[in-house]
Amino acid sequence: MSRRVKLGVLISGSGSNLQSIIDRSEDGTLAADIVCVISNNAGAFGLERAHRHNIPALHIDHRLFAGRSAYDTALVETLQQHGVELVILAGFMRIITPVLIEAFPMAIMNIHPAILPSFPGLHAQLQALDHGARISGCTVHFVDVGTDTGPIIVQAAVPVLDGDTEESLSARIQVEEHRIYPRAIQLYAEGRLSVEGRRVVITPSAPASAVSLENPAA
């Protein structure tokens, strides 16, 4: 049985994945409540999205801190003050430090616009195009100290079409991001995720469904 998990969402930009999570929370298909949205960028449109849904929206400017660890200490304090259980990175353009990771062990999720472990880091869609990949997609994973190296939760594949640009491929990948990110959070809410070494095990729901849980479309 799922419970309503308290989410803290970190953003730097428009917050389209944030919006998909808000929508699923409000329509009842996601057993989670966003208790705060934090951005390092005062002009992030995602903060406005949060305001529109009466979600506490906070700007914590990284430039006011001596370094990344000091900034992450402030993030941890704020997240804990709001009772956050699961941290969601949704276009947060900051490299997070062990300070944040150790405060929320295997309770930080990120979404990356590629089928990891291929094409980690920035401009993953452009990397796929430059390498002539025929399949791209997106990955939701738990965050560890590496760059896009944490245990993989769910993935979705997107074909690379002839004539694709970074922008057109990104747009199609984003459709899948909006679908699988809430799915991964729901699995967490249902207590169905466990990490065994490098692998995330998804426990079947009860009663067992005929639909394979290995298919993120389920």
CATH superfamily of 1-105: Formyl transferase, N-terminal domain (3.40.50.170)
Predicted pLDDT at 146: 94
Quick one: average pLDDT of 204-218?
49
Specify the DSSP element, H or E, that contains 143: none
Number of neighbouring beta carbons within 10 Å of residue 126: 15
Q: Are strands 108-112 and 135-142 parallel, antiparallel or unpaired?
A: antiparallel
pLDDT band of residue 205 (cuts 50, 70, 90) is confident
And the tokens for 113? Answer: 């616009």
Taking only the tens place, the pLDDT of each residue in 27-50 is 999 999 999 999 999 999 999 999
Catalytic residue among 112, 123, 131, 178: 112
Instruction: Reply yes or no on whether 112 is catalytic.
Output: yes
Q: Does the pLDDT of residue 211 top 60, yes or no?
A: no
Phi, psi at 60, each rounded to 5°: -120, 105
CATH superfamily of 112-141+154-218: Formyl transferase, N-terminal domain (3.40.50.170)
Predicted pLDDT at 2: 52
> Average pLDDT, whole number, for the chain?
93
Taking only the tens place, the pLDDT of each residue in 178-197 is 999 999 999 999 999 999 99
CA distances to 73, 77, 86, 100, 149 from 70, in Å:
5, 11, 21, 10, 23
| CA proximity to 141, closest of 84, 73, 200 | 200
Q: Tell me how far apart the 2 most distant CA atoms of the chain are, in Å.
A: 53
Q: 112-141+154-218: same fold as 1-105? A: yes
Domain ranges of the chain: 1-105, 112-141+154-218
Predicted pLDDT at 206: 66
